[in-house]
Amino acid sequence: MIVKDKEFVEYISASEISSRIAELGTSINSDYKDKRPLFIAILNGSFMFAADLLKEVAIPCEISFVKVASYEEMESTGNVKQLIGLNETIFNKDVIIIEDIVDTGRTITKILEEFISLGASSVEVITLLQKPASNDLGDKIKYIGFSIPEKFVLGYGLDYDGLGRNLKDIYQLKD
């Protein structure tokens, strides 16, 4: 598949994604059975993952959204900018951050620091994809859908310069 000027090949199918999200939902239902978590989805990339994940969550919960940016085309800028903030208090709440991909770990580290400083009771992270560069985050990422290699991916909410978010499968840049 060609997107813009790059060739991509299917990497994770929609059925594999769906199956893994069901497993993650089961884990969250168990871990938070006596709590009412606030899910905070990081836009734009996590919108599909967040929607499908919440369909698997059977416990009382809330969801909100924030938008941050750290990418231009295919490269992380290393500069995290919060574009749209949180509209409700997270003080004394159990927060689960929904991320599409944890690549370098810079974005999620900044978000974790900010949410902890706002007085959340707990802050956990669920990510659909994790790359090896972020492995040094240790236990900061509680739920991981798939560990993937250091290759650029798109689809299922992830984009290449704004394109490809609508694809139901995840594609990897062809060698």
Domain borders along the chain are 2-28+36-173
> pLDDT class for 110, splitting at 50, 70, 90?
confident
Non-local CB neighbours of 147 within 8 Å, separated by 6+ positions: 129, 130, 131, 132
Asked, as a colleague might, if the bond just before 44 is cis with ω within 30 of 0, I would say yes
| Of 52, 100, 103, 159, catalytic | 103
Is 103 catalytic? The answer is: yes
The predicted model scores a pTM of: 0.90
CATH code for residues 2-28+36-173: 3.40.50.2020
Query: What's residue 10's pLDDT?
Result: 97
Q: Give the residue-averaged pLDDT of 157-163.
A: 94
pLDDT in tens, 7-47: 999 999 999 999 999 999 999 999 999 999 999 999 989 99
pLDDT over 90 for what percent of the chain? 70
